[in-house]
Amino acid sequence: MTTRLLVTGAGGALGRHVRHGLKGCVEVLRLSDIADLAPAEDGEEVVRCDLADRQAVEDLARDCDTVLHLGAISVEADFDGLLQANILGTYNLYEAARKAGVRRIIFASTNHVTGFHRIGETLDHTSPRRPDSLYGVSKCFGEDLARLYFDKYGLETACLRIGSCFPEPKNRRMLFTWLSPRDFLSLVRSLLEAPAIGYLVLYGASANRRAWWSNAHADFLGWRPMDSSEPFRQAIERREPADVSKCQGGRLATVKTHAGD
Ligand SMILES: NC(=O)c1ccc[n+]([C@@H]2O[C@H](COP(=O)([O-])OP(=O)(O)OC[C@H]3O[C@@H](n4cnc5c(N)ncnc54)[C@H](O)[C@@H]3O)[C@@H](O)[C@H]2O)c1
Ligand 1 centre distance from Cα of residue 238 (Å): 31
Question: Closest ligand 1 atom to the C-alpha of 75?
Answer: 43
pTM: 0.98
Residue 41 in any domain: the answer is: yes
Task: Provide the residue range defining the domain that includes 42.
Answer: 4-254
Domain count within the chain: 1
Ligand 1 pocket test, pick from 58, 70, 87 with the greatest ligand atom count within 8 Å of Cβ, gives 70
Residue 259 in any domain: the answer is: no
pLDDT at 258: 72
Phi, psi of 153 (to 5 degrees): -120, -5
Over residues 24-48, mean pLDDT: 96
Residue 160 in any domain: the answer is: yes
| pLDDT of 236 higher than 90 | yes
| pLDDT of 260 higher than 80 | no
Bridge-based pairing of strands 104-110 and 66-69 is parallel
What whole-number distance in Å separates Cα of residue 260 and Cα of residue 223?
45
Question: Which among 164, 61, 136 has a CA at the least distance from the CA of 105?
Answer: 61
Which residue has its alpha carbon closest to ligand 1 atom 42?
Answer: 74
**pLDDT 10s digits, 41-99:** 999 999 999 999 999 999 999 999 999 999 999 999 999 999 999 999 999 999 999 99
Which residue has its alpha carbon closest to ligand 1 atom 43?
Answer: 74
| pLDDT of 233 higher than 90 | yes
Residue 177 in any domain: the answer is: yes
Residue 261 in any domain: the answer is: no
Q: What is the CATH number of the domain that holds 229?
A: 3.40.50.720
Residue 260 in any domain: the answer is: no
pLDDT at 243: 74
Question: Closest ligand 1 atom to the C-alpha of 13?
Answer: 16
Is residue 52 within 6 Å of ligand 1 at its C-beta?
yes
CB-based contacts of 60, cutoff 8 Å, min separation 6: 6, 30, 32, 47, 49, 96
| pLDDT of 244 higher than 90 | no
Ligand 1 centre distance from Cα of residue 12 (Å): 6
- What's the mean pLDDT when you consider all of the chain? 96
Residue 135 falls in the annotated catalytic set = yes
Residue 201 in any domain: the answer is: yes
Is residue 14 within 6 Å of ligand 1 at its C-beta?
yes
Segments of the chain assigned E as strands: 4-8, 28-33, 44-48, 66-69, 104-110, 156-162, 199-204
Give the other-Cβ count within 10 Å of 43's Cβ: 13
DSSP-based three-state secondary structure for 44: strand
